[in-house]
Structure 1
């Protein structure tokens, strides 16, 4: 398979930062560098890949707190999330105070992402799916060739994202999962923002919040 990944838990929230890379080119992207940049850099070095960009699913601090520092130190671009999450980026310093994180830099992504956009990692292409609900600008990255999705905090193994933050909305989140993610296929594996991986089929069958057995 020409796209490989390594999950790197970071921050006290054990957020699943992910290193994705194209085996043909050895070019890599870091998805959601929330913090612990030494740990992320060690993984990049261990895999022998070259970082070319940062991808963001959304702008909560455990996902985006290390973004500016990593982009500046490595000289790479930031792609994502959707512009509806700009208020979360602007609020990163306040988030850091609320949750006891190191003070982060505010940044502007080099590219805001929209539904149906494409992003590349080396020669590999990921589809961008706008999935609001947890945050209004949350996006999911889907690699169709390997049936792998990076879903951030939209969906978890056995649970769903919180919707009690500003501009979160439960009904919108359920719609995003059922109408945008589940149709991608039961056999799609996903890396979520926290906890173990799962498949859309498993969640359709067993997830108490969004399974087919609910109304």
Structure 2
């Protein structure tokens, strides 16, 4: 039995929504449901999976813009995360999706998650345990999901392949972002797979050697 992973780019920004599912229980979660909810829901149905939860790393529209529609399709599946410091982004979602409509984003109402997440908490998918790390900087409430047994990190927009998340947004902080990467992510094993919010996956070891913004 295994933890299955499918990365599904959605939204005009090709944001990496990730479908995770447990072979044994057929339970699944979707991370960062930024848009194209009907397509994602059909994918879950076609695989015969039971969508347990939606997990969110942070509150930017390309990561959360499809959540309300997905909840309508899935009979109000619970939404878990991000950290409560990103509340202001979820509250502003109607304005942001209107603003970015010319770029192809669908309108979304605001919403509240079923549960905020904090540093040191855990979430579960079948037998798989994911630890929560709070890594502000890109947004103040950004979190990541780390499964030690599978050496897997759902990293959102913190660490990219040879890059890092932007810090030119309201309440962003370059200092906080780089500190979180150095003190939390770069302490993980080198062979941990990092599924970033955009573009290709990477590993912790690769970034420690090759990331020009923050070396290990």
When normalised by structure 1's length, the TM-score is 0.96
Q: CA deviation at 1:38?
A: 2.2
2:14 matched to which residue of 1?
14
Task: Give the distance between the partners of 2:137 and 2:182, measured in 1 at CA.
Answer: 12
Q: CA deviation at 1:97?
A: 2.2
The residue matched to 2:149 in structure 1 has which SS? helix
Q: CA deviation at 1:125?
A: 1.3
* Contact kept in structure 2, 1:8 and 1:39, CA below 8 Å: no
* Contact kept in structure 2, 1:69 and 1:105, CA below 8 Å: no
Q: Gaps spanning 5+ residues in structure 2: where?
A: none
1:203 aligns with 2:212: no
1:173 matched to which residue of 2?
177
CA offsets per residue over residues 119-154 of structure 1, 9 Å max, x none?
A: 111232111111110000000001110100000000
Task: Give the distance between the partners of 2:100 and 2:182, measured in 1 at CA.
Answer: 31
CA offsets per residue over residues 35-84 of structure 1, 9 Å max, x none?
A: 01122123212332110110000010000001122123202100000000
Moved more, 173-182 or 41-50: 41-50
Q: Gaps spanning 5+ residues in structure 1: where?
A: none
The aligned length equals 212
* Contact kept in structure 2, 1:151 and 1:193, CA below 8 Å: yes
Cα-Cα RMSD: 1.1
The residue matched to 1:70 in structure 2 has which SS? helix
Moved more, 33-42 or 11-20: 33-42
Q: CA deviation at 1:95?
A: 1.2
1:64 aligns with 2:68: no
When normalised by structure 2's length, the TM-score is 0.95
CA offsets per residue over residues 145-174 of structure 1, 9 Å max, x none?
A: 010000000010010000000110001000
The residue matched to 2:184 in structure 1 has which SS? helix
